[in-house]
């Protein structure tokens, strides 16, 4: 088992790094939270692989929250990460329960809640979009990621990608959406 | 929002809805419309699917980069525990360093110790007056002896007076004054010093004149054994079955036995002394050599001098032969000075290699080149 260096960055340092898009902050966050997350999941029936997977996901959630200015800093980053891991773990446990036979009966699903089948279809569709996104080259892929994932404004994307103005970005985004749509339709048509 | 105003007609509003950028009031209106418009719900769901798909793509890419950082960062590359390797390497370097330092200390200590001893000896030498470049001639030594005898050492005619004093002095009685004051003498064991150091130290008494020794007495230095002749005898077939240590003990015992047997007969017996028959007029000036040993906590200082014509008159009545040499012994409370007058035919060099072989209460055996010389020492005062 390799010995990892412990990083002694404060929360404010990490948040500042994430805000500036420095992905080293992700690594620091992951390493600083691994011990408590692993301990929690092992106490609750999880494994090292579960801890690894969920922690990566939680760190990415934290990244997204910080990048979109939704992280309010009411708790420490470690507390926030552990809380996200707990929610993800409860959701994963619930998903595993649903995957058992008999749980797909309509009368067992509350009103307004997606059934396991609907969730499965939705998951497949979003996975298909993500797969098509991988086939998109730049600048479309970067532009769409900045707009939908990073939730940057047209003006910010124009400055970051070197477009003339927000209108130019808007037009370019429209073109990229069309390309994505066509490739997605083509993918759906190939699936029997 | 009316039923005629479908969401498909406003792309910007649709994006604001799926991106959650609407105001609460606007969002409420949209949700009321979506409950009534199935087509609009499908459009919104399709838009949400695109947004969620793009976000999943971004999230997957970010997670992949995170994994790359975690498992392929310089600290974890191909699973090599660099920190542990560095720790082990540092430990090895530390241990090697300690070993080198320890060896350096081990090697340094005796050298430094020897150096400091030499430095100390040199410092003491520097404290004393500079040694004479050559050994004083016998008449000069006699002059020094006389000068120490006289209350006023500044007399210019000491040399002449001394010569007359020596010639008048009876040989068998302690009548010769000390020639070499010993203050500042380095107490060294002759076995620890090379001949050059011994020779260098020997010149100091000749140059210092601070403490006078008591009157000396003539004695016989008995030649106990000639190493060259013994080596020939050994080569002739004498075999020793004992170890080298036992052999050495036996040789010492034999030497002592022979010495005491001879010395008891000849020492302090002027009537049995033989005349000095050798001519030593051609003998050049010989540097004094001395070594030292401890006896009754007094320094034993050995010096060798050639037998000059001036001493001839002093030593002619001593028993001299191939196996005896005249010796002058002087002493004070802290030292005993033994001056052995070697035969003119003997090389001074062998005398310079002397070292103490045996010291007891009343006897001294030294190596003098290829010879061993035995001396009976005066009793401790």
> Any chain A CB within 8 A of the CB of B77?
no
Q: B134, B141 in Cβ contact below 8 A?
A: no
Report d(CA B303, CA B263) in Å as an integer: 20
- Whether A145 and B54 lie within 8 Å, measured CB to CB: yes
Residue of chain B nearest A135, judged by CA positions: B57
**For A154-172, what is the mean pLDDT?**
86
Q: B301, B328 in Cβ contact below 8 A?
A: no
Residue with token string 């994006």:
B15
* CATH code of the region A11-102: 1.10.1740.10
The residues spanned by each domain of chain A are 11-102, 116-190
**pLDDT tens digit string along B351-370?**
555 666 777 767 777 776 66
pLDDT score, position B91: 92
**pLDDT tens digit string along B272-328?**
333 222 323 333 333 333 344 444 566 777 777 776 555 555 555 555 566 777 788
Tokens of A57: 């996901």
Report d(CA A57, CA A60) in Å as an integer: 5
pLDDT score, position A115: 65
Question: ipTM higher than 0.90?
Answer: no
Q: What is the CA radius of gyration of chain A?
A: 20
In the predicted model, what is the mean pLDDT of chain A?
79
Query: Residue A21, preceding bond cis, omega within 30 degrees?
Result: no
> Any chain A CB within 8 A of the CB of B167?
no
CA distance A85 to chain B (A): 15
Report d(CA A19, CA A26) in Å as an integer: 11
Q: Which residues of A touch B49 (CB under 8 A)?
A: 122, 125-126, 129
Which CATH number is correct for A116-190, 1.10.10, 2.40.230, 1.10.3470, 3.90.580? 1.10.10
Residue of chain B nearest A142, judged by CA positions: B58
pLDDT score, position B93: 93
Residue of chain A nearest B67, judged by CA positions: A56
Residue of chain A nearest B51, judged by CA positions: A148
pLDDT score, position A122: 76
- Whether A148 and B81 lie within 8 Å, measured CB to CB: no
pLDDT score, position B92: 93
Q: Which residues of B touch A149 (CB under 8 A)?
A: 54-55, 57-59
Three-state SS for chain A is CCCCCCCCCCHHHHHHHHHCCCCHHHHHHHHHHHHHHHHHHHHCCCCHHHHHHHHHHHHHHHHHHHHCCCCCCCCCHHHHHHHHHHHHHHHHHHHHHHCCCCCCCHHHCCCCCCCHHHHHHHHHHHHHHHHHHHHCCCCHHHHHHHHHHCCCCHHHHHHHHCCCCHHHHHHHHHHHHHHHHHHHHHHHHHCC
Burial label for A133, CB within 10 Å (0-12, 13-18, 19+), is buried
> In this model, does residue A74 exceed pLDDT 70?
yes
- Whether B84 and A59 lie within 8 Å, measured CB to CB: no
Low-confidence ranges of chain B (pLDDT < 70): 1-8, 72-82, 108-216, 225-298, 307-322, 343-356, 361, 368-371, 378-381
| Distance set, CA A111 to CA A97, A108, B41, B174, B340 (Å) | 18, 10, 17, 137, 129
Interface test mutation site (partner A, options B34, B64, B66, B73, max chain A beta carbons within 10 A):
B66
> Any chain A CB within 8 A of the CB of B59?
yes
Q: Which residues of A touch B72 (CB under 8 A)?
A: none
Please state the separation of Cα B237 from the chain's center in Å.
41
**pLDDT tens digit string along A110-146?**
445 556 677 777 778 888 888 888 888 888 888 888 8
The model's pTM: 0.42
- Whether B62 and A23 lie within 8 Å, measured CB to CB: yes
- Whether A133 and B53 lie within 8 Å, measured CB to CB: yes
In 3D, which of B265, B375, B284, B365 has the Cα closest to residue B326?
B375
| All residues at 6 or more sequence positions from A4 whose CB lies less than 8 Å from its CB, including other chains | A31, B75, B76, B83
Tokens of A10: 């404060």
pLDDT score, position A98: 65
- Whether B84 and A30 lie within 8 Å, measured CB to CB: no
pLDDT score, position B40: 82
């Amino acid at each position: 088992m390799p010995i990892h260096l412990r990083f002694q960055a404060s929360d404010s340092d990490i948040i500042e790094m994430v805000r500036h898009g420095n992905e080293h902050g992700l690594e620091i966050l992951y390493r600083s939270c691994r011990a408590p997350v692993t301990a929690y999941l092992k106490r609750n029936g999880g494994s090292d692989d579960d801890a690894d997977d969920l922690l990566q996901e939680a760190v990415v959630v934290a990244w997204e929250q910080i990048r979109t200015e939704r992280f309010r800093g009411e708790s420490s980053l470690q507390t926030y990460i552990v809380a996200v891991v707990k929610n993800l773990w409860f959701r994963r446990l619930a998903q595993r329960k649903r995957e058992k036979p008999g749980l797909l009966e309509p009368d067992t699903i509350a009103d307004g809640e997606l059934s396991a089948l609907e969730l499965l279809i939705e998951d497949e569709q979003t996975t298909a979009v993500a797969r098509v996104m991988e086939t998109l080259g730049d600048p479309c892929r970067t532009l769409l990621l900045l707009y939908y994932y990073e939730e940057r404004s047209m003006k910010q994307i124009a400055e970051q990608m070197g477009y003339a103005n927000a209108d130019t970005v808007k037009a370019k985004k429209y073109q990229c959406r069309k390309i994505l749509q066509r490739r997605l339709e083509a993918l759906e048509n190939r699936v029997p | 929002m009316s039923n005629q105003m479908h969401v498909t007609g406003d792309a910007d509003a649709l994006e604001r809805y799926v991106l959650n950028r609407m105001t609460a009031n606007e969002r409420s209106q949209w949700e009321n419309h979506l409950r009534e418009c199935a087509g609009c719900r499908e459009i919104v769901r399709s838009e949400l699917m695109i947004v969620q798909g793009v976000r999943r793509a971004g999230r997957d890419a970010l997670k992949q980069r995170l994994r790359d950082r975690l498992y392929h960062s310089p600290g974890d590359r191909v699973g090599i525990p660099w920190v542990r390797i560095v720790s082990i390497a540092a430990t090895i370097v530390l241990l090697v360093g300690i070993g080198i330092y320890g060896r350096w200390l081990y090697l340094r200590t005796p050298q430094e110790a020897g150096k400091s001893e030499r430095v100390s000896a040199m410092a003491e030498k520097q404290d004393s007056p500079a040694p004479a470049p050559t050994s004083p001639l016998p008449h000069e030594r006699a002059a020094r002896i006389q000068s120490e005898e006289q209350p006023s050492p500044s007399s210019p005619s000491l040399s002449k007076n001394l010569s007359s004093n020596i010639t008048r002095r009876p040989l068998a009685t302690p009548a010769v004054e000390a020639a070499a004051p010993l203050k500042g003498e380095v107490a060294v064991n002759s076995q620890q010093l090379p001949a050059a150091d011994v020779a260098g130290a020997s010149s100091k008494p000749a140059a210092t004149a601070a403490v006078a020794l008591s009157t000396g007495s003539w004695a016989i230095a008995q030649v106990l054994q000639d190493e060259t002749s013994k080596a020939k005898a050994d080569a002739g077939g004498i075999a020793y079955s004992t170890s080298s240590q036992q052999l050495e003990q036996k040789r010492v015992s034999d030497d002592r036995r022979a010495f005491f047997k001879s010395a008891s007969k000849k020492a302090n017996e002027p009537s049995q002394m033989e005349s000095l028959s050798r001519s030593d007029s051609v003998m050049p000036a010989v540097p004094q050599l001395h070594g030292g040993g401890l006896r009754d906590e007094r320094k034993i200082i050995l010096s060798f001098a050639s037998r000059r014509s001036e001493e001839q008159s002093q030593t002619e009545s001593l028993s001299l032969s191939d196996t005896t040499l005249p010796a002058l012994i002087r002493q004070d409370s802290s030292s005993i000075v033994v001056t052995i007058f070697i035969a003119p035919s003997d090389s001074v060099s062998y005398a310079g290699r002397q070292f103490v072989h045996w010291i007891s209460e009343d006897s001294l055996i030294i190596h003098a080149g290829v010879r061993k010389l035995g001396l009976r020492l005066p009793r401790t005062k």
